[in-house]
Structure 1
Amino acid sequence: MSTNAFITEETIEPDGNGPLSELTVAVKDNISTAGVTTTCGSAMLEDYVPPYDATVVSKIKAAGGTIVGKTNMDEFGMGGTTETSAFGPTENPAAPGHVPGGSSGGSAAAVAAGEADVAIGSDTGGSVRNPAAFCGVVGIKPTYGLVSRYGLVAYANSLEQIGPLANTVEDAARLLDVISGPDRNDGTTNDGGADSAYAAAVDDKIDTLTVGVITDLLEGADDRVVDVFEDRIDALEAAGATIEEVSLDSLEHAVQAYYVIAMSEASSNLARFDGVRYGTSGGSDGNWNESFAAAREAGFGPEVKRRILLGTYALSAGYHDKYYKKAQDARAWVKQDFDEAFKSVDVLASPTMPVLPPALGESLSDPLQLYLMDANTVPVNLANLPAISVPAGTADNRPVGLQLIGPKFGEETIIRAASAIER
C-alpha cells in the first residue's frame, strides 16, 4: 500500500559504523539535511535546500544509520493528522482509510509500513506521540533539552523536542541513546541525561514501580480507548506495579494555555518566511509590503495562516496580558501539579489520544475538535517533561496508544515501564 509517507526519497549514506549500522532511518521534513530538500510540508519551502545537517542528523550518520528520505508532515508542524501538508495527506498503514496522526505522521507511517526501521519526528504538543499511537508504533518525546534542536525549523521554541519512533521500545531507546546529549549549537541543551543508557533500561523489572493513572485524562475520552487503556493498566498491575489514581486540576486549562503560547511563538518564528530571507517570492514591483503579503498568501496553507493570525492577536498591544501572560500562568500551574504528583508516583499514565484515528478528511472542517484532540499530550510539553507512547491494543481495528509520563530526565523509568507493557 502506498502511504505517501515520504516527501523526498533520497538515500544519505552513513559516515561510519556504530549502534545504528544496518538500520534505515526516516527523517521528518522539518529537520535540516545538507543538500537534500527540507520543505516543512509547505509550499513556502518547496525548493529550500539546507546547507548543513541538523545535529541529530549528524549523530545518526556517525552512528551508522542510513537515512532513506524525508517524511511528510503537517505544514510547519501545525496539525494532528498530516492532512495540512502541501504535498497531500499520508494514509495510516495500520488503519487504511484513516489518518496516521500528526504532525510527524509520515515518520510514524514509514515505520509502521516497514519503509524505514526507525524514524525521527518532532513533538511540540504531541506530534511524535500522536502518530505513534494512531499507527501502532512507539514514540518518545524526550525531556526538553535532552536532544539538540539545532537544525530543526522552529515552530514553538519553548515547547518542541526531537524524538524517535520505532516498532519496539528497544529500538526507540537505541535511537534516543544516539541523538541525546548536549550540543554547543543549542544553548537549551544540557547534560541531564548524559550518563543514561536508555536501551539498557528495557528489560528492567517493574515490581517496585508506582504508576499514577491521570483520571482527568480519562474523562471525555472514547469508551473504546478507555477500555483498551484499562486492560493494559491491569496487566501492569499483574506484573507487579502499584497503581494509584491521580488528579491534576490544572489540566482543565492546559489545551487553552498551550495553543495561546504555541501560536504566539509561531507568529514570531514564521515572520522570517517573507519571500526575501526565506520562502517563495511574491514578486514586488518595488513594494515590499505587497511582496511580503503575496509571498505569505501563496506560501502558507489555511491552518498556518490561522495560527499566525491568532498568535499575532494574542501578542498585540492590549491583549498580551489578557491572553499570553495568563497562558504562561496556567503553564506554571501545570508544571507545579506534575511536580507534586511525582512526589508519590514514579510515572503517570493516560491514553495517548482520547479518540481513535479519524477517517481521512473527517476532521479538517472542525479545527476546534482537532485542537481538543491534543488534550492528553500538550500538558507534557507545557511542563517540559518526557513521555512515551506504546501500543496498547486495538479497537474497531484501529490502534490505541498508552502514554507514560516521567519526571524531568526520567526517560529510563518510562522506557522500563513501556517495555513491560510491550511484553
Structure 2
Amino acid sequence: MDTIYAAISPLISSAIIVVRISGDKAVEVFELLNGADVKNIQPRNVYNLKYSGSVSDDVLAVYFKAPNSYTGEDVVEISFHGNPIIVSSAFKDFEKLGFVTAEPGEFTKRAFLNGKMDLTQAESVAELISSKTLQGIDYSYEQLKGSLRKEIEYIKDLFINALTIIEAHIDFPEEDIEDAHARIVFENLELLKAELSAILASYDSHRIMRDGYRIAIAGKPNTGKSSLMNFLLKEERAIVSDVAGTTRDYIESNFVLNGVPVSLVDTAGLRITSDAVEKAGIERTGEVIKDADLVLVLLDGSTPLDEEDKNVLESTKELKRLVVVNKSDRPLLLNDIKYDCLVSVKDGSGMSELLKKCGEVVSITDADRFGKAVMVTARQRGYFIKILETVEKLSDESEIDFDIFEYELNSSLRLLSEITGLSYTEDILTNIFNNFCIGK
C-alpha cells in the first residue's frame, strides 16, 4: 500500500496543525527533520525537531511503530505551527518522498483492513465526530469500544445454537429430532426476535441522540409560520410580511429544547400557485415535512377553515404532528377543528404550553436512553431488519423443514458478518468511508 498523509486537524490558521503519515515509508519523513537519526527513533517518544524541507519550522514529532498505531501501520504524527502555508509546503516535500494524499476515511479504513477494529467500530468513529448530543457521544464511544460487536456475538451464538441442531439432523437423517431439540431451536428463535426487535426499536431515539430533532412548521401562507420560528429562536431569523408567499424556500436554524438539539424549519406556505419559484418552494416543503420528526401544523384562528387548511391537515395526518391555532388575540372564527394548542405568537399567549408539548415529544425517556447500549447506523439497521424478517418467518413455522431452516439461518449469519465486516465488498467499504472527513 502507498504511504499516505493528511492533516488530522483543520487546515486553517490556528495554534497548531497536526499531520498524520501512515505506511511502510512513514519514518522516512524524519529525513526532513534536522537532528533526527532515523535508525534511533524510538516509538511513542516526542521529538522536538526542526523541519527543514521547502519551509522551516520547529515541530513536535511522534512515531508509532506497527502494529501499535491507529492504522496498524507505521505512523508518524507531526505538529506544525498553525499556518496552512507551512503545512502546504510540507505536503509538497512529502510528495517528493513518494507519499500520497489520504482519501476520506482512509486512515480508519486501513485500521479496519489491518484488524484494529471491526466495521461497526469504524462506523462509530464517524458517529462520534458527528453526534450532536452528550448521549450520542456516549453511545458512539461505547460502540467504538465494541458494544455493538458484543451484541452481535450474542446474536451469532443464538443462531449457532439453533443451527447446530439443524445440521446435526441433516448429517444424521436416520435420527428423529427430539421434541426437546426442536424446542431449543424455537426458544433460540424467540430470543433472537426479542434481541433484534430491541435493537431496531432503539434506532429512532438513538438517531435523535446522534443527530438531534427536526421540527417543521407547516401551513398555508400568512398563518404566522415565520413569526413562530422567530419566537422560538428568539431572533429575527425569518422575514415576516403580510404579503402571501414571502417564504419561497425553507429556512432552517437550530436551538436547544429540553437539552436536545432541535433543527427548526420554516417552510414555504402550502397553497395552489402559478408562480414557478413559489411552486418549487412548495414542492420542497412537502419533502421537508415528510422527513421531519415533528410537524407543527399552523392554522389562522381568525379566519374560517378553507381548502388550503384542509389540504395541509390531510397531507400531514399520517405524520407525528401538533395542530396549532394561531392569532388567539383576535376573535376565533375557526370552528369544528380539533387542535392541540391555541396560541398568539404576537402577544405570547399559549406559547409556554406549545413549548411544553414540543418538549414532551422531543424529550428522550430513560427507557429510550438506557434501553440498548448500542447505536446502529442506517446501514446496520437495514441488515437487522432483513435478519429479523427471517427469524419471524421461521418462528411462525409449525414444524422444522431442515433444509429451509439451514439455508435461512446460514443466510442470516452471512448478513451478520457483513455488519461487522467479517465479509465485505469494496462497494460496502466505499459507501462507508466516503462519508468520512479527510484526516480520519
TM-score, shorter chain, exceeding 0.5: no
TM-score, normalised to structure 1's length? 0.26
TM-score norm. by structure 2 comes to: 0.26
- Which one has a larger percent helix, Structure 1 or Structure 2? 2
Q: Which has the larger radius of gyration?
A: 2
